[in-house]
Structure 1
Amino acid sequence: MSSYCLLLDSAKDLFKNCYYLIIHMTKYLKSDISPIEALRSKGYKATPQRIAICRIAMNSRAHPSAQQVYAEVKKIHPTVSLSTVYKTLKVLADLELVRIINLPKGQARFDSYMNPHINLICLKCGNITDLDDTTVRELTKKVAAATKFKPTGQRMDVYGICQKCSDKK
């Protein structure tokens, strides 16, 4: 009877682990760009850890730091190193699959939303909010027309204090 209970407990643990992996991994399966191709184009092996890093960074709208990406990947791949996270995020930035946002206090965050938008960056809490606005596209077109400059991309960051921090006074 006791071996049956141990077997049942093992099956429950296995189910919990599988469920956990399915729930956490499905968050990172949305990308149109293959992380495997991205890594291989820069000469990196497409290890499961690196693929998870790519999917987390490329599908997050939360502008995560490298440490936040590391914490998420570590849930799935406990042996991943912070160095691997930094190197992989650098590859993604080099391939223009994410943008690096350097905050005034020296911390880097990663922006995977590549459509023209404005980053509203709170100087108190560090929160970054995307603001979709056609004004950015219109301004880029006006600059191009007025200067004969051919823009290949743009980025606009607006620094200030968010509503939540303003209300804390």
Structure 2
Amino acid sequence: MLISKQTIAKYRDISRGVSDGKINPYIDDAENIDIKPLLGELLYNAVKKTPEDHTLLIEGGEYEYKDETYSHPGLEKALSIFAFARYIYFGASTDTAWGFVEKENQNSTPVSASHKKTVYTKERQTAATYFSEVATFLNRTNYNLWKSGCAPRRSGGFRISKIS
């Protein structure tokens, strides 16, 4: 994986008690479902295979374009926020012998589903904004293996039709 729980903690407040086993599936989903289609498969695979060759892309920083210095936040920031959004929305439930539950105790109350959905949506918008800055960097630097506009066109959901 390109990031870890510690990377997410650089950008968002996440409990130290969250195990890697709990957060890693959300990181993996964010990489493969959110970031891979945005980068394009060739660039994504190159970054995964040799991250050391893509330090400026991953970590962000300054770059020159038309005699001006610009900066971008880095792929890890966008990816961390995508993963955090997934964890916030999907991570509170636990599979037990008695079914899928949301833990609670006398000192806390679970956050409502509508609030989690709002946070999830806002965090994804934030991550997408950071990625757009990364895409600007990729476009301006003619980054190897990057194809401008390779972001997928998402329809927003499934379409089910009845065949008579």
Larger Cα-atom Rg: 1
TM-score (normalised: structure 1): 0.28
